[in-house]
Structure 1
Amino acid sequence: MDNHFTEGNTELLLCIGSLDPRNSFSSFNNSKLVRLAQFYPEDFSILDLELLPNQLDNFIYDVRTDKDLSGLQNIGDLCVMMVKTHRHTAYPLVYLLVKLAPVLPVATATVERVFSSMKTIKTY
């Protein structure tokens, strides 16, 4: 990955991977998810960043003990499940992370393509 992505983008992708719901959230990592929230300073206030670790602990305990949620395969499934089970209101900061996580890589790739195109245009 180091050859294709910057250090910041690699860190971002690793943080997003911490939301993977497969294998009962075995990839779940509080510190990486708090770091992911720090990539969104306009969406997460300082108070939100203080509250997030506790909300993440409660959320992971909740979903790991619910047998109906063991079959989730991706972040999209997680998002749908959170709304269906009303966990989006119980864990609003976690839900915000789940909603924002799929958007950032696309936005980052789009920006990088624009800069790459500008470089090509300026070269010619």
Structure 2
Amino acid sequence: MDLLSLSSTLMPKDAYKNFDIAKISTLVDSYYPEDFTEQEKINLPFQLQHFILDVRQHPEMKNLSTIHELCRCLAETKKSKVYYLIDRLIRLILTLPVSTATTERSFSAMKIIKTRLRNKMDDDFLADSLVIYIEKEIDEKFSSDSIIEDFKSLKT
């Protein structure tokens, strides 16, 4: 919930009424520390100050209401190059639902396999099975025949 409330400070609705530089900096420090260098974290508040002054005056960016529209408008006006740290943060926030869904899918698959197979196999085999079950896209690249041939060649 904290992540979502901090993310909402970037909402352009009502002339950027919720825009809060301190909360946005906290968002970066708390939730995206690996995505920004220390120098970028220092520069971010300054870039945010310039950004808010600029977008409140810019005719195309004044009447936006969603983060998605803000990201699109930054790209269209080429301001994503000027405010590259803000653009990166917005893109990270927009990918959050996809990341969350992928993680949830993995945990759901792990729960199914662990519940059904826990007593029937050892930990290494269970872990290998989970990888194949979760990463189905990788699994589709291999055919059963190619795997059998690899095992036959190992035997010789």
Range class of TM-score, shorter chain: 0.7 to 0.9
Counterpart of 1:108 in structure 2 is 100
1:52 to 44, 52, 65: 44
Within-5 A mapping of 1:29-68? 29-38=20-29, 39-68=31-60
Higher relative contact order (CA 8 A, sep 6+): 1
Within-5 A mapping of 1:51-90? 51-90=43-82
Instruction: Please state whether the residue corresponding to 2:63 is helix, strand or coil.
Output: coil
Using structure 2 for the length normalisation, give the TM-score.
0.66
Using structure 1 for the length normalisation, give the TM-score.
0.81
- Cα distance in 2, alignment partners of residues 97 and 116 from structure 1: 28
Of 85-94 and 31-40, more deviation after overlay is shown by: 31-40
- 1:36 positional shift: 2.4
- 1:48 positional shift: 0.6
Counterpart of 2:149 in structure 1 is none
Counterpart of 2:4 in structure 1 is 13
Q: CA RMSD in A?
A: 1.7
- Cα distance in 2, alignment partners of residues 49 and 107 from structure 1: 23
Residues 13 and 105 in structure 1, CA contact (< 8 A), matched pair in contact too: no
Residues 79 and 95 in structure 1, CA contact (< 8 A), matched pair in contact too: yes
- 1:84 positional shift: 2.0
- Cα distance in 2, alignment partners of residues 11 and 112 from structure 1: 19
- 1:121 positional shift: 2.8
Q: Which amino acid aligns with 1:123?
A: T
- Which has the greater radius of gyration? 2
Within-5 A mapping of 1:88-103? 88-103=80-95
Q: Which amino acid aligns with 1:122?
A: K
Q: Which amino acid aligns with 2:25?
A: V
Structure 1 residue runs without a partner (length 5+): 1-9
- 1:112 positional shift: 2.5
Counterpart of 1:5 in structure 2 is none
Of Structure 1 and Structure 2, the greater helix share is in 2
